[in-house]
Amino acid sequence: MLIKDKKIAIVGGGPGGLTLARLLQLKGANVQVFERDADKYARQQGATLDLHDESGLKAVERAELIEQFKQNYRPGAETLRVVNEEGALFLDEHAQPKDIGFGNEYFRPEIDRGPLRDIFIDSLQPGTILWDHQFISMESKNGGWLLTFKNEKSVYADIVIAADGANSKIRPYISNSRPVYSGIMMVEGNIYHAEKNAPALHALVKGGKVFALGKDKSIILSAKGDGCLSFCTGCWEQEGWINECGIDFNNRASVFVWFKQRFADWSMLWHELFATDEIYFVPRPMYHYPPGQHWEALSNVTMLGDAAHRMPPYAGEGVNMAMLDALELSECFTNGKYPDLKTAIANFEKQMCQRAGEITTITLNQMQALHSPGAIKHLLNIFQGM
């Protein structure tokens, strides 16, 4: 096995990094995960995730964690409503429930990020994750890498895997290509105790999801298992908007002033998003890497997930691609098909870039359609085709 007696450092403890750690440990590999969070409770986890049969769920099955997944996913949370800017209903999957389940290619079960993360954390050998290890830099040493962290600790690894997300600090060691701004700016929010703090929208979501589309803008709502309601707005803005808009995203009133102006042609129904101080906001400009990206493979470092192919979330593929990356990389390391690590990594990166490029193109087309005239018709055509 190519990775026998190799020390493998996975930088980043998100779904992609944890999936890879689990899969490699099942093969007997020496793996350490370095995560910047102080512990697994340190950070609020974002919106729910829908896993796909051919990617995310496939990785869960190969990780021998499907039973744990079934115990923690949220039946019905994938049920969708599509409305326009006035809240008028165009599609209601609650009215016509789908009779599909595990094993069906169209079944996309939802799970909150926290429980998914916990499933993988609990599956790893004790001590696998080193918390409070924020990556700063690394330098070549003895055929491997010496990694340095913000806590002033240094660790040697024979192989480094960048699973550190869209703003990866390891990616520049592999590729010098830059992300491209898509034109869409999202503002993500999370309302705590939504049944109390946003009762009308809580009732509209009905434990599932809502896609609200109109006037070249979007609002996507998702119910979470802890009673929160996560949402994200989407609209066309210039790349430097965050620095130029003057909004204090730590101040609800400041964000609300912007929303009432930018979404002035939407119903006041959506003002309930700002009815409580039990909320947080994060602005997220939507970047992506060029669909045809490539780079020269190295023998001791590679990347997966958003670090390799960040993209807007409008096709629901981000976490699924990261988990499939982990599965494919683990197989390239352990299937005995390749003569050396550089060849194994090169083959992994080739198939990853090809697959991610295709998904990026689909995602950008979807994003454009959802923020254009005819957005609802476009989305309904997709669901009718399914």
d(CA 58, CA 49): 15
E strands, the chain, in order: 7-11, 30-34, 49-50, 80-84, 89-92, 110-111, 129-130, 135-141, 144-149, 154-157, 159-162, 180-191, 209-214, 217-223, 229-236, 279-288, 301-303
* Inter-CA distances, 126 with 26, 129, 149, 158, 190, Å: 14, 8, 21, 21, 32
- Residues annotated as binding site? 43, 50, 113, 306
The Cα 291–Cα 350 span in angstroms is: 12
Task: Match 């309601």 to its residue by tokens.
Answer: 229
Binding-site residue ranges for NADPH: 43
**C-alpha angle with apex 280: 43 to 237, nearest 5 degrees?**
110
The first and second tokens of residue 386, run together, are 């399914």
Residues within the annotated binding site for FAD?
50, 113, 306
Asked if 379 and 315 touch (Cβ cutoff 8 Å), the reply is no
- Cα four-point dihedral sign 351, 355, 358, 363: negative
Burial call 128-138: b when 16+ CB within 10 Å, e when fewer: bbbeebebeeb
Are 198 and 229 contacting, i.e. CB atoms less than 8 angstroms apart? yes
